[in-house]
Copies of this chain bind each other. A is one copy, B any other.
């Protein structure tokens, strides 16, 4: 008997942002697998096994999930935010590609509120025009690729969202990214540091590239950059629907 594998997005933190579709999948699961802090958000119940694992073991976690599903379990892999945006969905397909004996497993991805959408909503509408999303971690790609994307995105006048802007093992990359953006976009461009949005630790800093410092971000921060037309109206930041 083959089970099922669901990869579900838990949203940015607040339970009121978990979709009913994800809640139903969790209620039907026999096994929940994920990075420890995300699994900690799932209430235990009889008949549910929780498998919490460390960060940076995404492929092993994905393979484990596929194996449990192949053995007949109803498995939910939990991600924060949306599983398709720098989260577990790609890792699951990577694992399936490497394990043809598990290729028959039925995989469903359930979308969630990704961090940039929750952060943008708190700030106003800074992503209200064309924009791009860049993972600033160089764990899985060369730093040169990131620099090139930053420059091209700035020349296209995209608003931007940056995931994984800074961690203990990558303390210097964000400062370099901010230098590039200041050179390309000018010092007055608006930037938002959104920390732990929708959690009790939420903190939003709206400033300009002139004032932005790398230590305004940490592992729980998503950073949003406006385009050339982005501006303030009252306490809000928004990007008009028209191009400059």
Contact = CB atoms under 8 A, between A and B. Distances in A.
A153 interface: yes
A127 interface: yes
Given A16-B21, A130-B133, A152-B156, A83 B121 contact: yes
Contacts of A17: 19-21, 111
B117 A238 contact: no
A91 interface: yes
A215 B215 CA distance: 49
The secondary structure that dominates the A interface is mixed
Contact of A19 (B18, B82, B91, B157): B18
A134 interface: yes
A205 B157 CA distance: 30
Contacts of A94: 238, 240-241
Contacts of A14: 21
A172 interface: no
Contacts of A134: 130
Contacts of A19: 11, 16-19, 113
Given A96-B234, A158-B149, A243-B145, A125 B103 contact: no
Given A84-B117, A110-B121, A132 B131 contact: yes
A93 B124 contact: yes
Q: How large is the interface on A (under 10, 10 to 19, 20 to 34, 35 or more residues)?
A: 35 or more
Residue from the set A110, A111, A129 with the largest chain B CB neighbour count within 10 Å: A111
A140 interface: yes
Contacts of A125: 83-84, 89-90, 92-93, 109
A155 interface: yes
B90 A128 contact: yes
7 contacts: A86-B128, A89-B124, A90-B125, A93-B125, A93-B233, A114-B117, A140-B241
Interface of A: 11, 14-21, 24, 58, 82-86, 89-94, 96-97, 103, 107, 109-114, 117-118, 120-122, 124-135, 140-142, 145, 148-149, 152-153, 155-158, 233-234, 236, 238-243
